[in-house]
Amino acid sequence: MSFYRNGTLLLAAFLLSAPASHAETAEQDPSKIDLAKLIECTTYDVPSYNNFALWLTGPESTKAMKQLGASELPSDNPFLREFQLSTPVTVFGRRTNRIVFTSTGPLAVFDEANPFPLAKQLDVTASIDQPNKFLGEKVILSHKDQQANSDTVLETRILLSVSTVDTHPGKTLAGCSYSIEVE
């Protein structure tokens, strides 16, 4: 397992120990999470995603992969872990059997070279719009919590994103980012 992945697990473990801001639905059992809803940012909170990520990559990964019908694919992108699903999932009204995970969330991989129709459908505004790169985000949730008896502020953010990446030519990636950041 690479340093990046170990770092991701350590970050996820830290975030799991932080007090949660439950603006979305909390799911304690990661095996009950609906993958499509997780990708679409429609249901779950940050700790639920972190539990899911640890379930998928931790000691129970074999069980998790079997339940999801997922097999990991080799990836040329060190920031993405890619999976093939045995049964396609419908996300944003589109079907796919490929998903990727970043350090903060899941993305569906669509066989669409042009990201603009999906970005428009999801009301995602481009922050980078170049011939070889598109990136757009839409804030679903942004909430700051001042920690009791501390100067520490935790910012919970859930973002919907649409992007293209050079390691996946002819593809559009779309999904959710779940994070808690310390200010």
Closest CA to 9 of 66, 51, 41, 38: 51
pLDDT of residue 24: 61
Give bridge partners of residue 110 from the DSSP assignment: 172
Per-residue pLDDT 10s for the chain (183 aa) are 443 444 444 344 444 434 333 346 777 889 999 999 999 999 999 999 999 999 999 999 999 999 999 999 999 999 999 999 999 999 999 999 999 999 999 999 999 999 999 999 999 999 999 988 999 999 999 999 998 888 999 999 999 999 999 999 999 999 999 999 998
Cα–Cα distances in angstroms (integers) from residue 41 to residues 68, 77, 86, 104, 153, in the given order: 18, 23, 22, 12, 23
pLDDT of residue 124: 97
The residue type of 16 is: L
Helix or strand holding residue 94 (H, E): strand 94-101
Q: How far apart are CA 18 and CA 110, in angstroms?
A: 34
The residue type of 158 is: I
pLDDT of residue 169: 95
pTM: 0.83
